[in-house]
Amino acid sequence: MGNPTVELSRKQIINALVQCSPKEIKGIMGELFRQKSFVPPTLEEITWEAGKTVRQGRIKPRTVQEAIKWARSKK
């Protein structure tokens, strides 16, 4: 016998999450990752999307360089 599924609207989910502390939300997100319910984007997807945004001129190249420098410092 499977577990029953409850369908919630996006608004209902947000209203439920508003009642949680940041620590509880972190736990919920961690559980989603462990269950593979949410798969983070791959490096290729991130790189492609970032390149598209830069090519369209939404972000200046200097800003991109600063972001890369910041990200590398966080390793």
User: What domain range includes position 58?
Assistant: 43-73
> Does one domain contain both 35 and 20?
yes
The total domain count for the chain is: 2
Residue 12 is assigned to a structural domain of this protein: yes
Residue 39: what pLDDT?
A: 75
Residue 52 is assigned to a structural domain of this protein: yes
> Does one domain contain both 50 and 67?
yes
If you write DSSP's letter for every residue of the chain in order, what string do you get?
-PPP-----HHHHHHHHHTS-HHHHHHHHHHHHHTTSS-PPPHHHHHHHHHHHHHTTSS-HHHHHHHHHHHHHT-
* pLDDT, one tens digit for every residue, the chain (75 residues): 567 778 889 999 999 999 999 999 999 988 888 887 777 788 888 888 888 877 887 778 788 888 888 888 876
State the pTM of this model. 0.42
Residue 34 is assigned to a structural domain of this protein: yes
